[in-house]
Amino acid sequence: MNLYGTRLQEKLNEALKAVLPIIGIVLFLSFTIVPISPSILMAFLIGAVLLIIGMMFFSLGAELSMTPMGEKVGGSLTQTRKLWLMILLSFILGFIITISEPDLQVLAEQVPSIPNLVLILAVACGVGLFLVTALLRMLFSISLPKMLFVFYAIVFGLAFFVPKDFLSVAFDSGGVTTGPMTVPFIMAFGIGISAIRSDKHASDDSFGLVALCSIGPILAVLVLGLIYHPESSEYIPEVLPTIDNSIELWRMFSHGIPHYMMEMAVSLFPIVLFFGIFQLISREIHKRALIRIVVGLIYTYVGLFLFLTGVNIGFMPAGNYLGQMLASLPYRWIIVPIGMLIGYFIVLAEPAVFVLTKQVEEITSGAISAKAMGLSLSIGVSVSLGLAMIRVLTGISIFWFIIPGYAIALFLSLFVPKIFTAIAFDSGGVASGPMTATFLLPFAIGASVSVGGNIVRDAFGVVAMVAMTPLITIQVLGLVYKLRSGHSGKGVSHMEPKEAFALLADDDIIEL
């Protein structure tokens, strides 16, 4: 228990470092240029406390449960040597984990003219199929950049035939479905598969699963858009809550907690059931490790329902109201730098970002540090929010940002070490999680309401923008390392990642 207490203290410190800057920004704005009602501000602060506690429990729970579960399932699956069984189980795994993703429920409510169940099942099938694709890529050592070129060519080809009011939501779906439930399991699943391989590129290929699994939902939603041809796509934003006293404030949270407890119980059940059947059949995990996983699942469950309660009840109204007020100011352009500042810090509060940065640091033996990853993601998301706010103010089509952005990312993939390409495209899906869906998206919607723009075309797409820019920033980081290590007489492509990074000064990351 002392060990768990120490680990919880570490996770609490990490959560505080991630969330306190966001709280500081909102408080500073509320006391200077954006008057926020006391009820919304109090709900935001209570939500922030729940978010911090939830992140603390979730990040420890994911380490104790999701990561070892994914590694064991991935390793055992590869050892069967039966390709048909590996394909079948990978599809089932991708399908049930996607259904477990809480952010998918939020997306389903916002897509016009398509029944929720149809959308959820289609997206789950998309993730399942692309998890199978990712598995085959790892087993047969297929180049990730080549696959990305082919699949994104198909995506953009389909996108030109989809109604404009549907386009932004389709691209948003790729980021939303790779959230706190999906990422830890799929990342560890890839590590488990790569552990069976003995070649020197095995660790590189352990990344890229999230990248491919992010494409499946986009294709699935685009196909649905072609089938359903939505005519009525008007999005009606939710009414901001009016809280008159402290009792009503408590009632709002006390009603929300049981709701999210039930939602997360339903979400976690398919994963627990799958792993339970796996353990009964394989007997891979010993009793002590199994107890550790059970404790981790409890921590994960507690962390996620507290996190979702905090962000949905506290952060969502605050984000919407903040966006409305900033965009209604005489100098509304200020929303661009403020959005960039919020984006820089908010990505560090995404639960799945903790998992990705730690696993990247571990699999590269510290060559790619969590600090460097976090800095690169923050810069990328900051640029994303700046561009997203420009879209809200001007109404420019998302195509003018998405097509050049992905073209640059795919072009860079031809020159950077393959591990950077895989990590970069994984990071895009990871950076756009529940914090983006419940604070940044409402922030953009609120701004669009004040500007009088088309909410579906202008505000939606912020998730897609957040998912796009890390693909560029992290590959630029890889390109810089490759060029500088090349001057030292050793190429990154011919050496282990840790060797390559050892050639450079620590300050280079900060300069970038």
Q: What is the pLDDT of residue 458?
A: 85
Structural tokens at position 494: 């011919």
pLDDT(369) > 50: yes
Q: What is the pLDDT of residue 511?
A: 42
8 A C-beta contact, residue 171 and residue 182: no
Share of the chain above pLDDT 90, in %: 15
Task: Tell me the C-alpha distance between 263 and 307, whole Å.
Answer: 12
Q: What is the pLDDT of residue 231?
A: 54
DSSP 3-state of 80: coil
Q: How confident is the model at residue 192 (pLDDT cuts 50, 70, 90)?
A: confident
DSSP state letters, 436-485: IIIIIHHHHHHHHHHHT--IIIIITTHHHHHHHHHHHHHHHHHHHHHHHH
Highest mean pLDDT among 114-123, 397-406, 436-445, 452-461: 397-406
8 A C-beta contact, residue 321 and residue 39: no
Q: What is the pLDDT of residue 110?
A: 58
Task: Tell me the C-alpha distance between 457 and 310, whole Å.
Answer: 28
One-letter amino acid identity for 469? T
Q: How confident is the model at residue 279 (pLDDT cuts 50, 70, 90)?
A: confident
DSSP state of 114: S
Structural tokens at position 48: 């922030």
Task: Tell me the C-alpha distance between 34 and 394, whole Å.
Answer: 22
Task: Tell me the C-alpha distance between 389 and 375, whole Å.
Answer: 21
State the average pLDDT over residues 160-170.
79
Structural tokens at position 194: 């790569």
pTM comes to 0.79
- CB atoms under 10 Å from CB of 389, counted, come to 29
Of residues 218 and 111, the one with the higher pLDDT is 218
Task: Tell me the C-alpha distance between 323 and 344, whole Å.
Answer: 17
State the average pLDDT over residues 24-44.
89
Which residue is associated with the tokens 């072009």? 411
Three-class HEC string of 188-252: HHHHHHHCCCCCCCHHHHCCCHHHHHHHHHHHHHHHHHHHHCCCCCCCCCCCCCCCCCHHHHHHH
Structural tokens at position 157: 């080809």
Helix axes 370-394, 351-363, angle to 10 degrees: 140
Nearest in space to 159 (alpha carbons), one of 84, 226, 238, 66: 226
pLDDT tens-digit map of 379-394: 989 999 999 999 999 9
- CB atoms under 10 Å from CB of 273, counted, come to 11
Task: Tell me the C-alpha distance between 217 and 466, whole Å.
Answer: 16
Q: How confident is the model at residue 236 (pLDDT cuts 50, 70, 90)?
A: low
Round the average pLDDT of the chain to a whole number and report it.
80
Of residues 5 and 269, the one with the higher pLDDT is 269
Q: What is the pLDDT of residue 373?
A: 81
Q: How confident is the model at residue 249 (pLDDT cuts 50, 70, 90)?
A: confident
8 A C-beta contact, residue 61 and residue 313: no
